[in-house]
Structure formats: C-alpha cells, structure tokens
Structure 1
Amino acid sequence: MPERNIEFGKYGARGLKGHEAVARQLDDLAGYIATPVSARRGLQARLHYLTRTTHARQAARAAGLTVTDRTLRAWQAGTRSPTRKNLERIEQAYRTVRRENVARYLTARLNRDGRGTRVEIHPINQSQVDRPRQRAVELRHLNVRNWDRIVSAWTAGDDRQLDEAWVDQVIDLGSQWGQYEYVTNIGFAA
C-alpha cells in the first residue's frame, strides 16, 4: 500500500486534501444561509435560526454564543449592532448548530439504506508539473456505502478524524489510493 504524500506540490502539482474537498461538499449540502453575516438580513436570519427554540438557544450557547438574552433581543430589534468579534461568533455558532441539525439527515441520505452514494474524485492539477514527473491519474468513481464516520467527524469539525475516515474509504480504490490523497475536487449529491 502506498504511503501518504510528504512533500505534496514539490514539483508544481496543485490540489487540496481529499477530506477538505469532502468537507466543502458537505458544507454545500448543508444549505447555509447565503447572505453574509455582515449584512442586516444575514444577521437576522442567523439570529432567528439560533434563537427560535429553547433547544436552538442551548445549542448556540454550547457552540460559543455566550451573550445575554437582552443583547440578543437588542441585536434582533436593530437597536444595537454586534462587534466584528461577535459577528464571527454568531457565524461560527450558526455553522456548528446547522451542522448538528443536518447531520442525521445527511447520513441517512448518503447511506441510502446501505446502497451508498457514488462519489467522483477529480485528480490533482498537474499542468505546472514537468512532463517526465507527471503521474497518469484520471477521474475515478467510488461508491461510499457508510458515511457515518465521515459525517460525524465533519459535524464535530475534527479534521484529523475526517481525514482518517475519508482515507478508510479511499483505500477501496486499490493500490492507487495514494494518488488520490490530494484532489482538485470531489463531487457527490444527497
């Protein structure tokens, strides 16, 4: 079995780690609010999402939004505006709570009762690599049947666990799996 890449990009190859591409695709599937938090509409939408129920408020507090209820009401009413640091906290809390809320749904959709989901793995960009050093890599397809570890690591925001869970799936490509540790893009749908 090949080992992990130690000096990726040494000869000009470009790409990102496979687990980062998976996290980006899962973020797209989570359906975050498109309007930025710095806009009034985006702020109001996030605050509504984080405060509409008791459970949502508790999850927001656990995710790091530790302002008083009075401050939250003032932000919602528009009488006060959050600082830049608080805007970052609101965005982070929103993304954390959203991930937790959609994780069970995404896992079920991606697992599809054991049938799994077909994943397209686009190889690294080797356009800047000298001809003799280029690898023969191509678009690969993989059917991932168990998404539980991947989605739970994504929900927790644990890159190391997400990387391990993704590599456990990519090993199914056979002896060439190391060529797909770094990729241009990974695509799948739920």
Structure 2
Amino acid sequence: MRHAFRDLRRRNIAPWLTRYLNANGGTRIEIHPVDQQGVEARHRRPLRVRNKNIYRWGPIVQAWASQNFLELEHQWEWEISDLDSDHRSYAYVSHIGLLG
C-alpha cells in the first residue's frame, strides 16, 4: 500500500515540479561531491561544492517519477558533462541543493 501511495504521489507531483524547476529559465543547484571518508587519505581528491544552472528539468523529473534510475543516471551524466575534467567526480554525489 505504501509503495502505491509513493508511486501516485510521484506521478502527481512530477508536472508541478517540472514547471517549478523550469520557471524563470531553470534552477541553479549546488552539487556536493561524494563523501570520501572511506577513501585512504593518499587517494582522496580535493573536491569542492559546485554550482550549476539546469535549464531542462523535464527528462530528469520524468525519470525520477517513473523510477527509471538508468535514465536518471543518463540525464545526470549529460548535465554534469560540462564540469571540466572533474566531471566524473560528480557522477555520484552526496546531495544536491536547490538555490533560490
């Protein structure tokens, strides 16, 4: 029952969320890199929090709403591909924040 509720909620909120995130030309996000605490100190890379504007939220929200994690990963890869040579460091992140 709980899964059915979450599926319905995702499906119902997706159109609103897409409109909200696309309003005013997109939404700026703050990307926090993956937590490297489990990585030996000598192998850690100096990563910083990055900011990026995303202008095309429809495919991302649709992948999330349908729980298509392969497509969500593909859309994320496309969005971070312009983060210079460190873009692979942001393929798996600890979290993102929406900036007003």
Give the match for residue 49 of structure 2: 139
- Of 30, 41, 48 in structure 2, the residue corresponding to residue 120 of structure 1 is 30
Report the Cα distance in structure 2 between the residues aligned to 1:104 and 1:96, rounded to whole angstroms. 14
SS in structure 2 of the partner of residue 188 of structure 1: strand
1:94 partnered with 2:5: yes
Give the match for residue 76 of structure 2: 166
- Give the superposition deviation at 1:189: 6.0
Give the match for residue 183 of structure 1: 93
Report the Cα distance in structure 1 between the residues aligned to 2:95 and 2:65, rounded to whole angstroms. 20
Give the match for residue 150 of structure 1: 60
1:104 partnered with 2:15: yes
State whether residues 26 and 56 of structure 2, in contact with CA within 8 Å, keep that contact through their aligned partners in structure 1: yes
| C-alpha RMSD of the superposition | 1.6
* Equivalent runs, 1:6-45 vs 2, <5 Å: none
* Uncovered stretches (5+) of structure 2, i.e. residues with no partner: none
TM-score (norm 1): 0.49
SS in structure 1 of the partner of residue 15 of structure 2: helix
SS in structure 1 of the partner of residue 85 of structure 2: coil
Runs of 4+ displaced beyond 6 Å: none
Report the Cα distance in structure 2 between the residues aligned to 1:102 and 1:127, rounded to whole angstroms. 35
Instruction: Please identify the structure whose Cα radius of gyration is greater.
Output: 1
TM-score (norm 2): 0.90
Matched residues, percent identical?
37
Report the Cα distance in structure 1 between the residues aligned to 2:41 and 2:50, rounded to whole angstroms. 22
* Uncovered stretches (5+) of structure 1, i.e. residues with no partner: 1-89
Report the Cα distance in structure 1 between the residues aligned to 2:89 and 2:10, rounded to whole angstroms. 30
Select the structure with the greater relative contact order (CA < 8 A; seq sep ≥ 6).
2
